[in-house]
Structures are given as C-alpha cells and as structure tokens.
Amino acid sequence: MTLDVSRIQARVAELLAEYAIPSASIGVLHGGEFTELAVGVKNVETREAATTDTVYQCGSMTKTWTALAFMQLVDEGKVDLDEPVRTHLPGFAVADPEASAKVTPRHLLHHTNGIEEAYGDPGEGDDVYARMVENIADAPQVFPPGRTHGYSAALGYAILARILEVHDGARWDDIMRHRLFEPMDLTSTNSLHEQVDEARAATGHLIRSLDEGPIVTPVRHLPRAFGPGGNITSTSREVLAMAHLLLNDGMAPSGKRVVSAESIREMLRSRVPIPDPHMFGPAWALGLIVCDWHGETVYATDGSTIGQNARLRLLPDSNTAVVMLTNGGPRESFHHKVFNEILADLGTVTIPDPPAPDALNLDLSRYEGVYERPGTRYEVSAEGGKPYLTLVLDPTQAEFLHKPDRIRYELLPVSETHFLMPPADPLEDTRTVAIYDFTNGTAQYLHTNCRVNPRQS
C-alpha cells in the first residue's frame, strides 16, 4: 500500500491547529522507499513555513545515536557490555561502593544503573563529560543497580560518552561526526547548537493555554551536559537514515555498513522490563523502547527538549519506520493520531488504545506516601476509598506555566500495580502510573513517564 500524502498533510494540518502545535516534519520509510512531508510554521512570530529540510531538536532520541556509536566500540572489541565501567574509567565512583564497582555499560544503556543525577554544574566546555563523571563521587543510589528501570535523562549516557572519549581520544561531538554522521552522509545532523544553521532551524514553543496559543520558548537549547542524551538536531529524512540502520542490520541507505549486524541484533534483543508498560511499552532495549502493538513487536525512540519533540517508530515486521519532529507539545495523543493515520494508510499494525480501568478492591494504605526525586515530588493519598496523586511543582515553574503548584489527579486502577491518571486540564493527555515493589509491605517506587521515584515516607 502507498501513502496518500495529500490526505495526510490535510489531516496533520487539522491536528496541528487542534493541539496548537506550530509545525510537524514527517518522514516515512516503507519497503525501502522514503516519503517526506512538512506542515506548519517554524516560528509563530516570523510565520516562516516549515519544510522537509527544517532542522528540529531530537531530545532523548539522541540516546539511540550514542548507543549506536557505543556498539561500534563493542564491534571493535574495545569494550564489553557487561564489564564494570571502572574497566575503562578507573576513577569511576559514586556514593555506594558496591554500585561503583558493579555498574556496567549495559546498566547505563538500559537505564538500570540507579545513580541519582547529582552531577552538579559541569559547565559548557569540552571536558563536560569528564567533569560529570568526577562530580558524581557523592551521588546516591535511587535504587541498587539492576533492581528496576529508572530513566536517566543525562547522566547515564554521559558516562557512555566519556568511555567513547577515552577510547577515541576525542570529544563526544567529534566522535559522533566521525563514527556516524559522516559515514552515513548526514549533512544536516549536529550535536552542538552553534553548528545548527539558524536559517533552517525550527524554534521551540510552549503552550500555557489554548486561548493564548503557542509561545516561543525562553530556553532555546539544553545545556551541553545533556549532549549524549539529548542534544542532536536533525531532519526527518536523516533520522530515517538512522532508522534504516536498525531495520537493515547496521547498513546505511547508501549500502555502507556502519554497525555490525550482531550489534544491531543485541540492541534489539537485550531488554529489561519497564514498571509502567502502558505509556510506551513493556521493555527497554539498548537505546530503544520495546512496544507491543497487538502482539507485534515495535521499537520506539522519543525525545523532548523545551518546546520541541521527536518520535520514531520502527516496525520490523513490515520494514517500516515513521518519524515525526515537532516544535510544540509534547502531546502523546497528537502523535498517536498522526502515526495511526499514516500506519493505517500503509496497512500496517497501529498503536493500541490504553487499557481500561478495572474495579479492584485495593488496600490503599499500601500505596499512600510521598515519592520523590530532586525536582519532582508525588504524594499518593486515599479519599473516599479512591486513590489520588498530587504532583507538587516548583513555584517558579508553576508561575511560568500558569498552573497551581499542587495538581491533584485521580488514579484509576488497571491492575494491582498500574493506574490510569486522567488529565487535570485540556492541555494534558491521560497518563499511566506504576506503583510497585511491595517488598516491605508498602510500595517502594512510583514510575511514570519512564522516571522512577522512590518512597520517601
């Protein structure tokens, strides 16, 4: 089946207006053929149209790129995924001596290392990842290595980047260009914001209300500390070049081998369970999320910066990849609607609906408590026999977003450990929450949006 590009463009335009997202650039790789389209404007102030050459920030999709470069080190026999990080960074240490000796690259790739992201201010210099590794000597464990899954926004992949730097004798940014961007003939993909062609760059937008509409983000790019985990910018077509590697055993669209077939297979098959399987998928592979769409295995890699978002879905069974880059949101319901329009046109499997709540008789005292990480606090309580979650926002953030600093949500049970969290305002989607690990009689962790928050009281 072929894609009805005109129909998809019209439908995307409707959805962009409905969700107050300025633009979207979409790429489809299906049966070896590339299709691209763009809708909307790069900046609501200039009203300049977005095109398929517009460059967007990819956010945490960067982690998949970093994972691919790291697997090249594996191909070269320079690293082993299951040897301690200390093998390559002898001074590597965190507050817990056992974790210091035990953490491996696989833990970092899987987000099961458990190290709190307490890396201080490492600056913006070329030594940023070396400084991050030095700065975590006193970083506590959120959980013991391998105990559960807890997403690491910056630190885990910065440690991987530092291992790459030590072996290659170069900074991570140059390593990515030498190992991936140049061999793949990617001329629009960069890791440093100063390398981005501003004339082609999309501007990020935030939305505080539908009446106000999207506003230009006050923060144009993430700090350099997020580099290996979040700072790559690219176009939809060049993201699909990365997807091509994953769908074709490490081969670039040009036919050049970039990563070994064995390393690609290892990236796809090495998995750990995600405590909240309903938001994205039931497992995490090496730099990829593993989804279950009606019994078919689909891989995902997503990213968000402050006002830009990237979503990529890989469907190996139909040799298909779909990417969408936007300069507003994130809204998962928007991405789901657009992807399902495209996937239905192609005759492939589509994204399943979220689970329905179930009338369960739960002992709510086992869930009640405070679950907290630096910068994030959730309070779970019971009232009238129903569970509720209160999200506590930083007052400055709440003021900027025009939100109260305490937002209360009802939790609708799906199982004994999983809940739906309906939106509190029209700018939100229904989210999912896992509250789990009753080792000590009460839940020890709250997991949502891939982040884990340990019980504090």
- Return the active site residues: 60
**Whole-angstrom distance, CA of residue 166 vs CA of residue 172:** 10
Single-letter residue type at 94: V
Handedness of CA 112, 116, 121, 122 (dihedral sign): negative
Sheet-wide strand order for 309-315 = 33-40, 23-30, 320-326, 309-315, 296-304, 289-293, 283-284, 272-273
Handedness of CA 106, 110, 113, 115 (dihedral sign): positive
Contact 446, 452 (CB under 8 A): yes
Q: Give one DSSP letter per residue of 350-371, joined into a string.
A: -PPPPPPP------GGGT-EEE
Structure tokens at 242: 């990365």
Buried b (16+ CB within 10 A) or exposed e, 270-306: bbbebbbbbbbbebbbbbbbbbebeeebbbbbbbbbe
Handedness of CA 265, 255, 190, 343 (dihedral sign): negative
Handedness of CA 106, 112, 116, 122 (dihedral sign): positive
**Whole-angstrom distance, CA of residue 382 vs CA of residue 364:** 6
Pairing of strands 406-410, 386-392: antiparallel
